[in-house]
């Protein structure tokens, strides 16, 4: 029985460095569901900090499905979101931050029970001195064209 907690801990430690803390800033209801007896459809705004770029906070807004299926986690949220990142202090990129055309994942959020997530990848444009963040949606079979981009200058 003791192997299960050790295995779970091992899996958690194997996850790449991603945003340490995500904080819900607020939300607005977009449609009342089941006469107000269940959670309404809404747009949620969350904040996360990039663990390898000091002085940057990103804000992502995402549609969340309400109703009974949304309350119990069975709903598939729409792949629609917006992203804005801003300098909150001196911007410093860690030496071990991944560079290159594939970037590095800094945020992810499940948007359905199986095989769909919203992810944010960081790219570093050394030539222009900018950190670029790309939000996109995964889907198991056909993928999704929805995306958003934000850029923060290095100072």
Q: Where are the domains of the chain?
A: 17-153
Per the model's pLDDT, the better-predicted residue between 2 and 108 turns out to be 108
Buried b (16+ CB within 10 A) or exposed e, 69-90: ebeeeebebebebebebeeeee
CB distance 97 to 123 below 8 Å: no
- Mean pLDDT is lowest, of 9-18, 63-72, 93-102, for 9-18
137 pLDDT above the threshold of 90: no
Per the model's pLDDT, the better-predicted residue between 143 and 56 turns out to be 56
CB distance 106 to 120 below 8 Å: yes
CB distance 88 to 57 below 8 Å: yes
| pTM of the shown model | 0.71
- Give the separation between CA 17 and CA 94, rounded to whole angstroms: 12
- Give the model confidence (pLDDT) of 80-112 as tens digits: 789 999 999 999 999 999 888 889 999 887 655
pLDDT at 134: 94
pLDDT band at 117 (very low <50, low <70, confident <90, very high): confident
10 pLDDT above the threshold of 50: no
Which element (helix H / strand E) includes 155? none
C-alpha separations of 76 from 27, 29, 64, 65, 70 in Å: 18, 17, 8, 7, 8
pLDDT at 101: 87
- Give the separation between CA 80 and CA 20, rounded to whole angstroms: 23
- Give the separation between CA 7 and CA 119, rounded to whole angstroms: 25
147 pLDDT above the threshold of 60: yes
- Give the model confidence (pLDDT) of 20-60 as tens digits: 578 888 888 876 655 655 566 778 899 999 999 999 999 99
pLDDT at 7: 36
């Amino acid at each position: 029985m003791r192997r299960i907690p050790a295995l779970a801990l091992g899996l958690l430690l194997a996850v790449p460095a991603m945003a340490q803390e995500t904080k819900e800033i607020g939300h607005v209801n977009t449609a009342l569901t089941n006469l107000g007896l269940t959670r309404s459809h809404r747009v949620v705004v969350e904040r996360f900090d990039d663990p390898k770029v000091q002085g940057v906070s990103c804000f992502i807004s995402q549609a969340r499905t309400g109703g009974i299926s949304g309350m119990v986690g069975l709903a598939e949220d729409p792949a629609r979101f917006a992203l804005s990142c801003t300098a909150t202090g001196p911007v410093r990129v860690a030496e071990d931050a991944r560079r290159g055309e594939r970037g590095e994942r800094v945020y992810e959020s499940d948007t359905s029970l199986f095989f769909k997530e919203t992810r944010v990848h960081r790219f570093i444009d050394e030539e222009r001195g900018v950190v670029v963040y790309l939000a996109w949606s995964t889907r198991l079979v056909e993928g999704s064209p929805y995306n958003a981009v934000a850029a923060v200058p290095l100072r």
